[in-house]
Each structure stands twice: as structure tokens, then as C-alpha cells.
Amino acid sequence: MTSGRTHRPIGIGPRLREALYGYGFVILWIVGFGLFTLVPLVQTVLYSMNQVTVQATGIELAPVGWANYSRALLTDPNFVQLLIEYAVETLVSVPIILIFSMIIAILLNLKFRFKGLFRTIFFLPVVITSGPVIRELTAQGATSVPGIANSAAITEFLAQLPSSLRNPIEYLLTSFILILWFSGVQILIYLSSLQKIDKSVYEAAAIDGASAWEAFWKITLPSLSTTTIIVAIYTIITLSHFSENKVIKYIYSNTYAVGGGIGYASAMSFLYFFVLILLLAIVYLPSALGGKRKSS
């Protein structure tokens, strides 16, 4: 006699199979992150707490506790000044890049001839802003307009500003070409998000009598809110690891300097990383808290 029960074959369930497929796709990234990011990160933490001496026989570590961090924050005025300038310049640059990228993306989303050519033109700086090319352009002054800040009218205008606003405004006037140079990827991200907005929403708004300006503020801009956060985070990270960043160049210069060392450079790197995380939190947390309030 049969019991009437159906026996399921023993095997991997669909949920476990999907999880294994997912881990299979990301396993290379996990291994790469562990070998090339996590291990050097832990090693850098160890170096930052020691006086590192490179000898012919190897690397010698002499524990110094938090001395490298206190030296960078309390003794080295150049590093602190560079950190402040980096934070201010980043907070000034990011809104300009976001606004410029959004405007260009909206224009490129319109129907006109040679649209693909213009998209290529705006993305072209991304291809060349790396390595010796951007270094040579910066050395030749092609990424800035220093003569603007030297004119009599601009000099008088800057002199009337408070000291806290003088440096950001001067940076904006002299480096706006370099700022706009970082807008290629941002334009593509905005463009892809614009193409995902359902056109029937605009048609319904037009039937109800909404103008193009009202459609932008009530349809386009709210639809791009999540994209704007992503673009802002991407822009901050891009500006932070730019090869011509003054903080990064200063850390490099102290790595094997007589008065510096690998331990001191490692401590400065973590302080720089902390400021970067703080800037990302300033951008991300307000939107996250606003989203929780709307959901509740």
C-alpha cells in the first residue's frame, strides 16, 4: 500500500540556489576587496600607530600610540589648513556640478539632430582627466583662469567679503573650468534617470494646464531626488581621489620625507578619510531622515 505522500527529491531549494548564484557573481569582488583593500587598510591602521622605519632588512615598527594623529591635528598647520580648504572647496564644487549636470542632461534629453555627438563631447573630459594628461593640463593652467581673480573689480569684490567666504569664492572664480570638467559621468546618470520618467505623466500634467516650469518643479525634480543623492556622493568621492588634490599630494610628499614617514602619512590618510566620511554624511543623512519622515 502507498501512503499517498509525495517524496520530494533532496536537493538545493530555489532560494538557496539564488543566494549561491548571487554570491558566485560577487565572489571575485569580495576576494579582491579582501586582498587589495581590507588587508592594506588594516596594515595602514597598524602603521599609523607606529613610527615606521624602512631598513635594508625590512620594516621596523616602534609603537607611538596616537602621537601621529595628534601631530597632524595639533602640530602640523599645513595639513589642517589643507583639510579645511578641501572641505570648503568640495562643498562649493558639488552643487555647481550637480546643477550644471542636470541642466545639460535635460537639454540632451530633448529631440534634436546630432544628439549623440553632443553626448560624446560632454563625456570626453572623463576619458582624459586622469594620469599625466590632466597633470600636464593643470601645469599649463588649462584647467583654471587665474587672471580673473587678479582683476581690479574682482579683487575689490573679494576684499569686501568675510574671510570665511573669500577663499571659496576665489576658488570658484579661478577653477570653474576644472569643476565643470568633472560633470561627464554625472550628466549620463541624470540622462538615464530622465529617460526612465514616464512621458504620460508630463502629458497628463499638460492636459491639466501645467506649464513646463511647473512640470520641472513638480515632476522632473522630485523624480531625480534619489539620483541627485547618488550623483552627489559620486562627485564627492571623485573630487576626493583626484590625483591633483592638494591633500593627497601633501600626504604623498610626507610618506618618505625626513620629518614625516609612513606612519605619519598613514595617520594623515585616516584623518582625510574621516573628513570624507563626514562630507558624505552631510549629503546623505538629510535625505535619509527626510525619507523616513515621509514613510512614517
Q: How many domains does the chain have?
A: 1
pLDDT at 117 (0 to 100): 72
Q: With contact defined as beta carbons under 8 Å apart, do 261 and 72 qualify?
A: no
3-state secondary structure 138-155: HHCCCCCCHHHHHCHHHH
Residue 36, in any domain of the structure: no
For 268, the grid coordinates are 594623515
Q: What does 198-265 look like in DSSP terms, one character per residue?
A: -HHHHHHHHHTT--HHHHIIIIIHHHTHHHHHHHHHHHHHHHHT-TT-HHHHHHHHHHS-SS--HHHH
> Within 10 A of 137 (CB to CB), how many other CB atoms are there?
19
Residue 33, in any domain of the structure: no
pLDDT at 181 (0 to 100): 73
Residue type, 86: Y
Residue 29, in any domain of the structure: no
pLDDT at 272 (0 to 100): 94
Residue 122, in any domain of the structure: yes
What is the spatial distance between Cα 197 and Cα 125, in angstroms, rounded to a whole number?
Answer: 27
Residue 102, in any domain of the structure: yes
Residue 105, in any domain of the structure: yes
Residue 38, in any domain of the structure: no
For 225, the grid coordinates are 531626488
Per-residue pLDDT in tens (0 to 9) along the chain, 296 residues: 455 555 555 567 788 888 888 888 899 888 998 888 888 889 989 999 988 887 778 788 888 889 999 999 988 889 998 998 899 888 888 888 898 889 888 888 887 777 677 667 666 666 666 556 566 666 655 555 555 556 666 666 666 666 666 666 666 666 666 666 778 888 889 988 998 888 888 888 888 888 888 888 888 888 898 899 999 999 999 888 877 788 998 998 888 877 778 899 999 999 999 999 999 998 888 776 666 666 55
- The CATH number of the domain holding residue 96 is 1.10.3720.10
Residue 186 sits in which domain range?
A: 67-129+182-295
pLDDT at 238 (0 to 100): 87
pLDDT at 145 (0 to 100): 58
Non-local CB neighbours of 234 within 8 Å, separated by 6+ positions: 185, 186, 189
Residue 141, in any domain of the structure: no
